[in-house]
């Protein structure tokens, strides 16, 4: 396993931070970008690897790659349009640990040859796919790191929904009996596997990265969002920050808006019959959030990004539940017993394995302590943030999000 692939194969969601002065679709992004300064800063901010645009159409050069290499020990990905062994050798001499290969531009024989050249040079190849046919080619031709690009290279438009489905397909196609550990209760797309899947383009908020992660991505590649940010390093930390914050029991559009403004990532809408917090529907959410439909007993069909499902026991929800993406379990929800004290709640959550959504009894006053104890993937609060059942206290919503950060 090469340095680049190895860096993206750890637990949790990794990030490849990109140095990109301009984009053909968006024009200038950060014309004065210094690849050495950015590479060093991205390393300190938590990046798993750094991508360097070396193509002149992006105001990049191989010299930028060498400058980044001089300032950082992180694995470096060279991005451009490459088709010859000589180009790969030049990139390796400049310090690249990996190279981008575009399926759109390469025939099967060319791709296999270049993957072999990269291997001889002790480099990884990030093989980029834009549709299902290209994805199938990548897998069949032995690509070990597969990028799924949400950007159409002809129109430059971003289609996150289509990309997420392609990521899920990539995760299914790359499933293997060996590789990094999955999590308890995982299904096919989250089994241990021998390939790495990278979500590329269109990640500007934590929710976008979380959606890619739940679809099966091991890492995200982020360029434009970082280059546009006043502080690229703070933006990278923000995108990688965990836990995510879910405000549940939402019933009104104005409460959704306040949760979004406060920085919540997940908006929960309870559709179970037995609660005074029952929502009439899954309300629209801004693109910075994911919607979660919450069910008890049976899964409904309300349109939402995710579903949270509890069994029904004695006429009420069971203590714990699951978070679903489609029909797949993607996390465990560790909650408290219905309207009861649960003194073992935090200890159960601490002992649980895998991706954990911590719910039940969380407030602005105690969520920080709970996060420190459990280190969950997400935290979830509802009744503690209310002025009355189904009506949020906006000050408490803001305080909860701030305390969870």
pLDDT confidence of 187, banded at 50, 70, 90? very low
HEC secondary structure over the chain = CCHHHHHCCCCCCEEEEEECCEECCCEECCCCCCHHHHHHHHHHHCCCEEEEECCHHHCCCHHHHHHHHHHCCCCEEEECCCCCHHHHHHHHHHCCCEEEEEHHHCCHHHHHHHHHHHHHCCCEEEEEECCHHHHHHHHHCCCCEEEEECECCCCCCECHHHHHHHHHHHHHHCECCCCCCCCCCCCHHHCCECCEEEEECCCCCHHHHHHHHHHCCCEEEECHHHHHCCCHHHHHHHHHCCCEEEECCCCCHHHHHHHHHHCCCEEEEECCCCCCCECCCCCCCCCCCEEEEEEECCCCCCCCCEEEEEEEECCEEEEEEEEEECCEEEEEEECCCCCCCCCCHHHHHHHCCCCEEEECCCCCCCHHHHHHHHCCCEEEECHHHEEECCEECHHHHHHHHHHHC
**pLDDT the model gives residue 178:** 32
C-beta of residue 243 within 8 angstroms of C-beta of residue 378: yes
In this predicted structure, the answer to whether residue 186 has a pLDDT above a threshold of 70 is: no
Mean pLDDT, residues 82-98: 98
Domains present along the chain, CATH in parentheses: 3-240 (3.20.20.70), 244-404 (3.20.20.70)
Mean pLDDT, residues 224-241: 97
In this predicted structure, the answer to whether residue 259 has a pLDDT above a threshold of 60 is: yes
Residue from 240, 184, 231 nearest 212 by CA? 240
Please confirm whether the linkage preceding 317 is cis (ω < 30° from 0): no
C-beta of residue 173 within 8 angstroms of C-beta of residue 135: yes
pLDDT confidence of 175, banded at 50, 70, 90? low
The winner for highest mean pLDDT among 15-19, 140-144, 154-158, 338-342 is 15-19
**pLDDT the model gives residue 390:** 92
pLDDT confidence of 1, banded at 50, 70, 90? low
pTM over 0.85: yes
Between 147 and 11, residue with greater pLDDT: 147
Least confident of 100-104, 145-149, 159-163, 204-208: 159-163
Mean pLDDT, residues 54-65: 93
How many angstroms separate the CA atoms of 52 and 223, rounded? 10
């Amino acid at each position: 396993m090469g340095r680049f692939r190895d860096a993206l194969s750890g637990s949790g969601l990794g990030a490849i931070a990109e140095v990109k002065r301009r984009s053909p679709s968006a024009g200038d992004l950060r014309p004065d970008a210094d690849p050495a300064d950015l590479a060093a800063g991205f390393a300190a901010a938590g990046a798993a690897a750094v991508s360097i645009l070396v193509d002149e159409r992006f105001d990049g050069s191989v010299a930028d790659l060498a400058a980044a290499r001089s300032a950082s020990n992180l694995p470096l990905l060279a991005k451009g349009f490459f088709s010859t062994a000589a180009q790969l050798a030049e990139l390796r001499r400049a310090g690249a640990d990996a190279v981008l290969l575009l399926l759109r531009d390469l025939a099967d024989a060319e791709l296999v040859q270049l993957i072999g050249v990269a291997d001889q040079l002790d480099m990884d190849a990030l093989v980029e796919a834009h549709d299902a046919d290209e994805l199938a080619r990548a897998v069949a031709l032995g690509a070990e790191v597969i990028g799924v690009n949400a950007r159409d290279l002809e129109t430059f438009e971003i289609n996150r929904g289509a990309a997420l489905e392609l990521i899920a397909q990539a995760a299914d196609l790359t499933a293997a009996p060996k590789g990094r550990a999955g999590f308890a209760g995982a299904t096919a797309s989250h089994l241990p596997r021998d390939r790495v899947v990278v979500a590329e383009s269109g990640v500007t908020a934590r929710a976008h990265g979380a959606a890619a992660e739940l679809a099966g991505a091991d890492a995200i590649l982020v360029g434009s969002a970082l280059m546009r940010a006043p502080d690229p390093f703070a933006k990278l930390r923000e995108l990688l920050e965990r836990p995510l914050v879910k405000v549940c029991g939402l019933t009104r559009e104005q409460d959704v808006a306040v949760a979004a403004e406060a920085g919540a990532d997940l908006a929960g809408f309870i559709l179970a019959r037995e609660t005074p917090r029952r929502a009439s529907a899954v309300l629209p959410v801004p693109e910075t959030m994911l919607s979660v439909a919450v069910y008890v007993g049976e899964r409904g069909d309300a349109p939402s990004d995710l579903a949270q499902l509890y069994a029904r026991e004695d006429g009420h929800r069971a203590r714990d539940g699951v978070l679903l993406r489609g029909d797949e379990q993607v996390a465990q929800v560790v909650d408290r017993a219905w309207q009861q004290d649960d003194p073992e709640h935090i200890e159960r959550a601490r002992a649980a394995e895998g991706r954990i959504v911590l719910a039940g009894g969380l407030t602005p006053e105690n969520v920080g302590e709970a996060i420190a104890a459990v280190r969950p993937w997400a935290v979830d609060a509802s009744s503690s943030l209310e002025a009355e059942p189904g009506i949020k206290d906006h000050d408490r919503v803001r305080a909860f999000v701030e305390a969870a950060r």
